[in-house]
Amino acid sequence: MRIIRRILDGIVASAMAILLSAMVAVLAWQVFSRYVLNAPSTFSEEFLRFGVIWLSLLGAAFSTGRGTHMAIDLLTEMAHGRTKAALMALVPVSFIIFSVLVLIIGGMRGVNIAAHQTSPVLGVPMGLIYASLPVSGVLMLIYSLLNLVDLMTGKRSLPDTIDRAVTAGD
């Protein structure tokens, strides 16, 4: 399980790093072309918009895998024993249900609807943009299953205090 998680983390983190680097380069070009060349770039705004969609959904899947997603853990912190274990298992189970019903099934419907459309400036099939939903849904599903197995086998609990504080913005 640890190897699968490590490989998946590497792939998702690398994809996000590449995408973020490309977005920074395109944003720099947009600023340069607008203010130095006095000829605003036409493709950059649409590229950045699509990049933010993909980056945010990949980031949501990545944070699901790390257990650093936003959560209200008041009841979990107050509970003990089996009740605490059940509440901790409720989070990955909820993510599994959400990722299957909303992101994978609903996302595939969106991909099918948008498959015949293209973006106005880049000419990219909109199905590729909507594909961010089922892709992130599959990643969340895998991560949630890994988290659930780790909770059941006792190999993982809540993220450490530093990860939780960083997520909360403290």
Judged on CB neighbours under 10 Å (0-12, 13-18, 19+), 15 is: middle
How far does the chain reach from its first CA to its final CA, in angstroms? 31
What mean pLDDT value characterizes the chain?
88
Single pTM value for the model: 0.84
Q: Interhelix angle for 2-35 vs 132-153, to 10°?
A: 150
Encode pLDDT of 6-60 as tens digits: 999 999 999 999 999 999 999 999 999 999 998 888 899 999 999 999 999 999 9
Encode pLDDT of 73-129 as tens digits: 767 777 787 888 788 888 889 999 999 999 999 999 999 999 999 999 999 999 999
Give the C-alpha separation, 155 to 120, whole Å: 49
Contact criterion met (CB below 8 Å) for 143 and 61: yes
- Domain of 48? 2-168
